[in-house]
Amino acid sequence: MHEFLVAAVAFIVLVGVMVVVHEFGHFAVAKLCRVRVEAFSFGFGPRLFGIKYGDTDYKVCLLPLGGFVKMTGENPGEEAVNDPAAFTSHPRWQRMLIGVAGPAANFVLAFVLMIIYFGWINEVPAYEVRTTTVEWVVPGSAAAQAGIQPGDLIRHFDNVDNPTWEQVFTRMTLDPNMTVPVAVERGGQTVQLALAIPAELKGDDLVGMLPQYMPSPIGVQEVMPDNPAAKAGLRAGDAIVTVDGHPFHTVSTLLAYMQAGQGKPLTLVVERNGALLPPMTATPAKLDTGYKLGFATVPIPFRHDPLPLAKAATKSRVFCSDGSLLIVQMLERIFTHKVAVSQLSGPVGIARVAGEAAEMKGWYSKFYLAGEISLNLGILNLLPFPILDGGMILLLLIESVIRRDISTNVKERIYQAAFVVLMVFFAFIIFNDVTKLPIFNHLKP
């Protein structure tokens, strides 16, 4: 119940802000073009309260899921021909400018959010491994079948040279069910490999390749009583140097190793008070979420390293350009059937991710998600599909080419058909989201 409430509140806040900013873009340019705006609403449904200033009713409505702007004569069938302040009475270029303003506001929001993050926060690990080094490979996984080994340094992945781990994982999401070239440095030599990425990526390890993020051993902050770790002799303050001879550095790698071992006993080499203890044996216990030892790790220490404004602006620009390119590439691969539509997330998926980001320590995940959602909203609204801003702009461009207005009846039918298609697609995305929830995992093979 707690997770549901956090996810619901995070979703309402996140999407509410994004949509209101989007609508404010339309509102601001409409006002500049002297189009009458009848309502600027936060939320939908019955009006709760507000204030009317000039021609506009600034109001808050019952359902806090975004908002809308109502301009005189903007919808088919309600054109006000003799009203100079109506939307349809203005030149087509002004109407197109109003249509573009909403997505543009989302791009500006993403850019400003990331400038704030990089310029005033910029969390970086106090200690980190800056190379793309593979810490461990799950036996039998796609990475293992490709020949990737622990200790390999990734020098090329797909079409990226010297990639970061973030770039590696990004390319994976774009290339499901495809084979990509990978070059690794091993023992001072370059080895050329081919990685077959599964059609559906699952879990934190994705293709079975665990990254090395930290140089230090796994630190133990707390040991739960009557659990395998406590029975083996592990104590708070210990550091796990090796597991069955493997020098693991993060608990995610240890968890993946335990799942692959299906509960087999582990030999731990532990450092305590600067000295190595004799090897101890711990047998993982199987819980609902997998095999565990029963201890909490020391949180990865972070420090704030704010960047100068110019560098923050550059990093924000790169974030927006890379994020936008990623969205466009994903849409292109969906339309060309290289990626399944089931890879998309809708309101339920966004709410789940928003809830997880809200409960994570630090600010990066929160700013990153907000920036990505804002970019998504901007780009998706520019698609040339009726009802969306891009569809309206397309119809205006067609009218400009043929030098006359498309009849109201034709527009109404286009919008009605588009609405039905959009609702069916929306229902499919929600169904797809729901089936991805953990509660349905036991129904999957």
pLDDT in tens, 18-65: 888 999 999 999 999 999 999 999 888 899 999 999 889 999 998 877
Dihedral angle computed from the Cα positions of residues 121, 124, 126 and 129, in that order, rounded to the nearest 10 degrees: -170
Structure tokens at 199: 């059609």
Instruction: Look up residue 124 and give its amino acid.
Output: V
- At residue 116, the pLDDT reads 94
- At residue 204, the pLDDT reads 53
336 within a domain of the structure (yes/no): no
318 within a domain of the structure (yes/no): no
Asked whether residue 154 falls in the same domain as residue 238, the answer is no
Of 23-32, 223-232, 270-279, 336-345, which gets the smallest average pLDDT? 336-345
Q: What is the pLDDT of residues 171-191, one digit of tens each?
A: 887 777 788 999 999 988 999
Asked whether residue 10 falls in the same domain as residue 115, the answer is yes
178 within a domain of the structure (yes/no): yes
Structure tokens at 414: 């286009």
The domain of 158 spans 134-210
Of 80-89, 247-256, 349-358, which gets the smallest average pLDDT? 349-358
Distance of CA 399 to the CA centre of its chain: 37
Asked whether residue 56 falls in the same domain as residue 78, the answer is yes
- At residue 149, the pLDDT reads 93
314 within a domain of the structure (yes/no): no
Asked whether residue 12 falls in the same domain as residue 84, the answer is yes
pLDDT higher than 90, residue 194: yes
- At residue 80, the pLDDT reads 59
Is the pTM higher than 0.85? The answer reads: no
Q: What is the pLDDT of residues 392-437, one digit of tens each?
A: 899 999 989 988 888 878 888 888 888 888 888 777 777 766 666 6
Residue of 23, 74, 135, 372 marked active site: 23
Q: What is the pLDDT of residues 372-397, one digit of tens each?
A: 889 988 998 998 888 889 988 999 99
329 within a domain of the structure (yes/no): no
pLDDT higher than 80, residue 3: no
What is the rounded distance in angstroms from the CA atom of residue 231 to the CA atom of residue 247? 22
What is the rounded distance in angstroms from the CA atom of residue 259 to the CA atom of residue 23? 47
Asked whether residue 202 falls in the same domain as residue 146, the answer is yes
What is the rounded distance in angstroms from the CA atom of residue 387 to the CA atom of residue 376? 17
CB 146 within 8 A of CB 181: no
First to last CA, the chain: 27
Asked whether residue 105 falls in the same domain as residue 17, the answer is yes
Mean per-residue pLDDT over the chain, rounded: 84
Write down which residue in 300, 327, 342 finishes a domain: 300
Asked whether residue 173 falls in the same domain as residue 252, the answer is no
pLDDT higher than 70, residue 237: yes
Asked whether residue 200 falls in the same domain as residue 235, the answer is no
Asked whether residue 104 falls in the same domain as residue 18, the answer is yes
Q: What number of helices (H) and strands (E) belong to the chain? A: 11, 18
Distance of CA 325 to the CA centre of its chain: 14
Write down which residue in 194, 210, 226 finishes a domain: 210
23 annotated active-site: yes
374 within a domain of the structure (yes/no): yes
Write down which residue in 276, 300, 324 finishes a domain: 300
13 within a domain of the structure (yes/no): yes
Asked whether residue 157 falls in the same domain as residue 177, the answer is yes
CB 353 within 8 A of CB 212: no
pLDDT higher than 60, residue 330: yes
**Contacts (Cβ under 8 Å, ≥6 apart) of 82:** none
Asked whether residue 17 falls in the same domain as residue 85, the answer is yes
Q: How many domains does the chain fold into?
A: 3
Instruction: Look up residue 286 and give its amino acid.
Output: K
For Cα atoms 203, 348, 100, give the angle at the middle one, nearest 5 degrees.
110
For residue 222, the domain's CATH number is 2.30.42.10
Q: Indicate if the alpha-carbon torsion angle 345, 421, 174, 332 is positive or negative.
A: negative
Q: What is the pLDDT of residues 274-303, one digit of tens each?
A: 899 999 999 998 876 788 898 888 877 778
The full DSSP string for 134-158 is EEEE-TTSHHHHHT--TT-EEEEET
pLDDT higher than 50, residue 165: yes
337 within a domain of the structure (yes/no): no
Q: How far apart, in Å, are the Cα atoms of 211 and each of 3, 266, 324, 390?
A: 28, 21, 26, 40
Q: What is the pLDDT of residues 72-115, one digit of tens each?
A: 888 766 665 678 888 888 999 999 999 999 999 999 999 999 99
pLDDT: which is higher, 348 or 439: 348
Asked whether residue 31 falls in the same domain as residue 84, the answer is yes
